[in-house]
Amino acid sequence: MKLCGFDVGERRPLFLIAGPCVVESLQLAIDTAGTLREICARHNVPFIFKSSFDKANRSSHKSFRGPGIAEGLRVLDEVRQQIDVPVLTDVHEDTPLDEVAGVVDVLQTPAFLCRQTNFIQNVAATGKPVNIKKGQFLSPWEMRNVTDKAKATGNTAIMACERGFSFGYNNLVSDMRSLAVMRDTDCPVVFDATHSVQLPGGKGDASGGQREFVPVLARAAVA
């Protein structure tokens, strides 16, 4: 599959999607994107910058969600122009998809919304590449149904993303077998190494995490 000018998928080179979880400021976004681009260029790894203008699924309404769509898209467009990298952001059910698709290169759907047929198909219908995050409640083989919904719109630039599975209360685990299973979707498989170590709601009104395990899981996914 062609993604932002390079090939992705099984037996294709590693590529990286990375950036601040949420847009905090233009300067942080520019600095982060520039640094990541330099590192990836040094190792010949294709890079897509990721950041969100609105985190609509925070644990608490008091948590910082982002700058909103107008300022968020302005920042993402500045990153795209100044750093010359493709940009990914996530969208939600009430997002004006055409407006976002007019700025970014790749759309991402949140894990909690992966079963919402209308939403998945509306995002895919933009024609943009879509990274569909697997719900924490979903088995890896069920992702075939989700990606098939997206492909039914005629968009074949669909990726399936593993981000951990609910394991009791406030905990996620990563079953690396899911990466092999999700290849049966005939879509490139992405692994979200940081959200996979999340402890959802682990702090009561916020999520915790175990960042020390990010390098471990990332290496396992690459292997």
Sequential DSSP letters for 26-94: HHHHHHHHHHHHHHHHHTT--EEEE-BS--TT-SSTTS---S-HHHHHHHHHHHHHHH---EEEE--TT
The DSSP element (H or E) to which 177 belongs, if any, is helix 177-182
CB atoms within 10 A of CB 95: 20
Residues 6+ apart with CB under 8 A from 184: 141, 144
- Rounded Cα–Cα distance for residues 143 and 184 (Å): 9
The DSSP element (H or E) to which 7 belongs, if any, is strand 6-7
Joined together, the tokens standing for residue 62 give: 């008091």
**Least-confidence region, from 6-10, 55-59, 79-83, 137-141:** 55-59
For the chain, domain boundaries:
2-222
Cβ-based burial of 185 (10 A; exposed 0-12, middle 13-18, buried ≥19): buried
Q: What is the mean pLDDT of residues 69-74?
A: 97
Per-residue model confidence (pLDDT) at position 175: 95
Q: What is the mean pLDDT of residues 214-218?
A: 95
Question: For residue 214, which phi and psi values (nearest 5 degrees)?
Answer: -60, -50
pLDDT tens digits, 121-139: 999 999 999 999 999 999 9
Query: Over 70: is that where the pLDDT of 202 sits?
Result: no
Q: What is the mean pLDDT of residues 178-207?
A: 89
Of the pLDDT bands very low, low, confident and very high (cuts 50, 70, 90), residue 206 is low
- Rounded Cα–Cα distance for residues 54 and 125 (Å): 21
Cβ-based burial of 69 (10 A; exposed 0-12, middle 13-18, buried ≥19): middle
The total number of residues written for the chain in this structure: 223
- Rounded Cα–Cα distance for residues 6 and 97 (Å): 24
Give the residue from 35, 103, 29 showing the smallest Cα distance to 70.
Answer: 103
Cβ-based burial of 168 (10 A; exposed 0-12, middle 13-18, buried ≥19): exposed
Cα dihedral 64, 207, 15, 137, rounded to 10, equals -120
Q: What is the mean pLDDT of residues 57-72?
A: 84
CB atoms within 10 A of CB 29: 23
Question: For residue 32, which phi and psi values (nearest 5 degrees)?
Answer: -65, -45
pLDDT tens digits, 138-160: 999 999 999 999 999 999 999 99
CATH of 2-222, picked from 3.40.50.1580, 3.30.465.10, 3.40.50.720, 3.20.20.70, is 3.20.20.70
